[in-house]
């Protein structure tokens, strides 16, 4: 595998050539749009399915995973270059969602060989979808207070309880889920990590309609749902450690620059606001705020590149993902707000022929983006992690 230096230039050239030859130009869209399509339940067909099969055969759907499970065996630096080259031509990775983005990476670290062989290949091929069973009505920010029960039934486990905000649950085939296996233990110590087949009678999913007009989040009810003995990941009552690692992978993905491949905010502003006689954006105040936003976005992107370089061969995220999660989601929200502002009255479109598809999408992205500083651990939760695990500040929540 290539390391750092001249060999990365060689890899970039190879990736660029392969993408130019294999990516159907008619499919140009941003990574964010590809994720939204996947969360809507859309299955690839036509040229989209051709692209899926090509990138799966190359192993680049899950680029840093081992080849033996269908991955590309790339270094983090190579994977970053691949992402950049895809964004350059408007290509996207069709292998998206919680399977490749969160669960698969966690299973690579904590799963048995049998579990990896059974579950990872279908994720790398984009054949099965996964959802996350973490939050409950009484266990959101204080996730360790979860009460969904998992009881020993001899040759299998039985799960009863309710989860909420289970994104994409109505389309999911499987759920990686936190359950309470020892109600008498301390709340962090009585939790296990199990895999639940969503296609069984004991699972009921109710989509929640959101302000943006979509229903990506769901309520999920388990009534005597069955979990096989070999679908508990890690030791009994040892799920909290695995849960925290998975959240690091989730936040690592959220800390990336959303909207790669989108039209730049500067180009949108030029289109709707116009230029003055000197070729500058006509609104001086907006010009200053756009410049500040673009500087912050560039600084975030460069920090991601530096973190990739510093990681070398280490594929595992650290507590610094909390920093990038807060930074990336704030920048994404700021961009959405600026886009609505520069579009003026055109940025209020919801439906009808009076608004373009770009304008209607901007409104929905602005509304749906409000959730990004909440899900995956709220901004306040990330700030606590940063203060304790990175800055080493004292825990002021402990009683004296």
Whether 363 and 345 have beta carbons less than 8 Å apart is answered as: no
Say how many Å lie between the first and final Cα of the chain, rounded: 52
Nearest-angstrom CA–CA distance, 313 and 278: 48
Structure tokens at 159: 């799960």
What backbone phi and psi angles, to 5 degrees, belong to 148? -60, 125
The SS3 call for residue 70 is coil
250 carries an active-site annotation:
yes
Instruction: Name the DSSP letter for residue 181.
Output: S
Residue whose token pair is 């990775």: 93
Structure tokens at 80: 């970053």
Catalytic site residue from 32, 36, 250, 359: 250
**CB within 8 A of 357, min separation 6: which ones?**
none
For 6-35, b/e burial (b = at least 16 CB within 10 A) is eebeebbeebbebbeeebeeebeebbbbbb
Nearest-angstrom CA–CA distance, 351 and 162: 35
Which residues are catalytic, by number? 250
């Amino acid at each position: 595998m290539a390391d750092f230096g001249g060999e990365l230039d060689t890899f970039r050239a190879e990736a660029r050539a392969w993408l130019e030859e294999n990516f159907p130009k008619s499919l140009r869209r941003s990574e964010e749009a590809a994720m939204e399509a996947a969360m809507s339940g859309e299955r690839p067909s036509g040229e989209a399915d051709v692209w899926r099969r090509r990138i799966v055969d190359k192993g680049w759907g899950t680029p840093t995973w081992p080849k033996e499970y269908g991955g590309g065996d790339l270094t983090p630096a190579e994977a970053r270059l691949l992402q950049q080259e895809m964004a350059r031509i408007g290509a996207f990775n069709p292998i998206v969602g919680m399977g490749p983005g969160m669960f698969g990476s966690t299973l690579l670290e904590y799963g048995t060989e049998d579990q990896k062989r059974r579950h990872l290949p279908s994720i790398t091929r984009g054949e099965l979808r996964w959802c996350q069973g973490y939050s409950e009505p009484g266990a959101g920010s204080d996730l360790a207070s979860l009460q969904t029960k998992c009881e020993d039934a001899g040759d299998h486990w039985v799960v009863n309880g309710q989860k909420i905000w289970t994104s994409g649950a109505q389309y999911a085939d499987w759920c990686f889920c936190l359950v309470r296996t020892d109600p008498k233990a301390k709340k962090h110590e009585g939790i296990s990590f199990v895999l639940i087949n969503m296609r069984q009678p004991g699972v009921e999913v109710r989509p929640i309609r959101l302000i943006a007009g979509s229903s990506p989040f769901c309520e999920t009810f388990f009534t005597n749902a069955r979990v096989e003995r070999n679908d508990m990941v890690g030791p009994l009552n040892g799920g909290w450690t695995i849960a925290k690692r998975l959240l690091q992978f989730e936040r690592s993905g959220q800390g990336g620059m959303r909207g790669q491949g989108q039209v730049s905010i500067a180009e949108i502003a030029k289109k709707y606001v116009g230029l003055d006689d000197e070729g500058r954006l006509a609104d001086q105040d907006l010009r200053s705020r756009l410049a500040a936003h673009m500087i912050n976005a560039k600084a975030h992107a460069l920090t991601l590149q530096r973190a990739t370089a510093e990681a070398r061969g280490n594929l595992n995220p650290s507590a610094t993902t909390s920093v990038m999660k807060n930074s990336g989601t704030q920048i994404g929200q700021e961009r959405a707000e600026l886009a609505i502002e520069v579009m003026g009255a055109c940025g209020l479109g919801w439906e009808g022929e009076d608004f373009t598809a770009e304008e209607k999408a901007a409104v929905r992205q602005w509304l749906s983006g409000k959730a990004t500083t909440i899900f995956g651990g709220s901004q306040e939760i990330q700030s606590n992690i940063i203060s304790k695990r990175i800055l080493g500040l004292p825990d002021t929540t402990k009683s004296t």
